[in-house]
């Protein structure tokens, strides 16, 4: 087996992928350490699935290169697949097979020896809490149980790196929590996990996060590091009419960003203590009492939106500079 080149299980340099005129990935560089949970976050169309398909060797880049476990994802794609698990958004479960039969099918697919599978099957079912449901048809499982079955099928050959493409999308909160409890146990066993997610609270559970937008990897850091790099301070604002309050605050002096967060607004300003009196006055003068303001810590959503808007401004400035030359 190739050497992994140090502590990195995944290395990508200058990955670029286009589909006709659309650029899906733009010179992506990243590394993922051994035993790490790495979360790729971005909106639909950001390039998350494309990047994952490049890393698991089922799609070739137009430029750049990637290595997983030391294997070149293009030249050694078939060898690589023996050592990784991949759970795409639509994992290939067979609805007319039982839980047990689906798992046996994946044992066959990965050529797991018969003696080994008989030993491994009960442990995998117990690991996912599916022992009581092993004779139930996959088509009759809940969404959360299907995801657990897909996960243990992807684990059937004991991969060293696990790729999960939005594994909890559309799953209820309780099942999402249970799924993550399983992932935490995998991390304790030393498996490296690379996942994409639309849920920022899931990204918070990861060791590091990559923020992907429009094919560009805007930032890679720990959740704490991303928050520490946030520019400005936050004020949580509650008012009688949040929609009207947002309209007013977006035009307020010094306001950089306003996000709606359930029952309150998250307002970015240079300094919260100095800005609060003016924000309060702006809303009370408009008759939006009662008004409540309090300082707050930035979340990953605040960081992501700020980076996306900064990228947009830089792109506009670049186009403006090009137009004047």
Flag whether 128 is in a domain. yes
Separation in Å, CA 310 to CA 246, 250, 316: 20, 16, 10
Statement to judge: residues 222 and 280 lie in one domain: no
Ordered alpha helix ranges (H), 58-197: 77-81, 99-109, 114-127, 143-154, 173-188
Same-domain check for residues 119 and 240: no
pLDDT for the residue numbered 4: 41
Q: Distance between CA atoms of 265 and 263, rounded to whole angstroms?
A: 7
Residues 35 and 47 in one domain: yes
CB 162 within 8 A of CB 150: no
- Same domain assignment for residues 285 and 182: no
- What does the pLDDT read at residue 259? 94
202 and 163 inside one domain: yes
Same domain for 216 and 257, yes or no, is no
Residue 1 lies in a domain: no
263 in a domain, yes or no? yes
| Helical (H) or strand (E) element with 124 | helix 114-127
Q: Kindly state whether residues 34 and 140 are assigned to the same domain.
A: yes
- What are the E-state strand segments in 180-287? 192-197, 208-213, 216-221, 233-238, 257-261, 264-269
Is position 2 within any domain? no
CATH at residue 38: 3.40.50.300
Given a contact cutoff of 8 angstroms between Cβ atoms, the answer to whether 37 and 183 are in contact is: yes
Domains of the chain: total: 2
Number of helices (H) and strands (E) in the chain: give both, helices first: 11, 14
3 within some domain? no
Domain co-membership, 137 together with 91: yes
Same domain, 245 and 301: yes
**What is the structure's pLDDT at 232?**
96
Assess whether 235 and 213 both reside in one domain: no
Final residue of a domain: which of 226, 259, 275?
226
187 located within any domain = yes
45 found inside a domain? yes
In terms of domains, do 36 and 137 share one? yes
List the domain range (segments joined by +) for residue 148. 8-226
- Are the C-beta atoms of residues 166 and 139 closer than 8 Å to each other? no
Q: Please identify, among 198, 226, 254, the residue that sits at the C-terminal boundary of a domain.
A: 226
88 lies in some domain = yes
Q: Looking at the structure, tell me whether residues 233 and 314 fall in a common domain.
A: yes
- In this structure, what CATH number is given to the domain that contains residue 301? 3.30.70.100
| Regions of the chain short of the pLDDT cut 70 | 1-6, 315-325
Question: 196 is written with which tokens?
Answer: 């994409």
Joined tokens for residue 14: 């200058």
Of the residues 168, 196, 226, the one at which a domain ends = 226
């Amino acid at each position: 087996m190739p050497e992994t080149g140090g502590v990195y299980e995944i290395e990508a340099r200058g990955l670029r992928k286009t589909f006709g005129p659309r650029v899906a990935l733009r010179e992506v560089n990243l590394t993922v350490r051994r035993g790490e949970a790495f979360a790729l976050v971005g909106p639909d169309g950001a390039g998350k699935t494309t990047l994952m398909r490049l890393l698991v060797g089922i799609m070739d880049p137009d430029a750049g290169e990637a290595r997983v476990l030391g294997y070149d994802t293009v030249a050694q794609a078939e060898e690589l697949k023996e050592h990784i698990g991949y759970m795409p958004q639509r994992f290939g479960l067979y609805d007319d097979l039982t839980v047990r039969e689906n798992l046996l099918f994946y044992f066959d697919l990965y050529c797991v020896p018969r003696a080994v599978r008989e030993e491994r099957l009960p442990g995998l079912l117990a690991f996912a809490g599916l022992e009581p449901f092993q004779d139930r048809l996959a088509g009759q499982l809940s969404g959360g149980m299907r995801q657990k079955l897909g996960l243990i099928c992807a684990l059937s050959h004991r991969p060293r790196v696990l790729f999960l493409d939005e594994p909890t999308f559309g799953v209820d909160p309780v099942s999402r929590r249970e799924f993550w409890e399983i992932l935490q146990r995998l991390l304790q066993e030393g498996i490296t996990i690379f996942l994409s997610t639309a849920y920022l609270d899931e990204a918070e559970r990861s060791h590091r996060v990559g923020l992907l937008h429009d094919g560009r990897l805007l930032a890679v850091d720990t959740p704490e590091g991303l928050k520490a790099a946030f520019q400005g301070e936050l004020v949580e604002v509650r008012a009688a009419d949040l929609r009207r309050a947002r309209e007013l605050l977006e035009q307020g002096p010094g306001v950089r960003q306003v996000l709606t967060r359930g029952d309150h607004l998250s307002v970015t300003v240079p300094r919260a203590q100095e800005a609060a009196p003016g924000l309060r006055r702006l809303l009370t003068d408009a008759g939006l009492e009662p008004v409540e303001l309090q300082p707050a810590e930035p979340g990953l959503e605040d960081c992501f939106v700020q980076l996306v808007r900064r990228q947009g401004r830089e792109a506009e400035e670049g186009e403006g500079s090009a137009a004047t030359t």
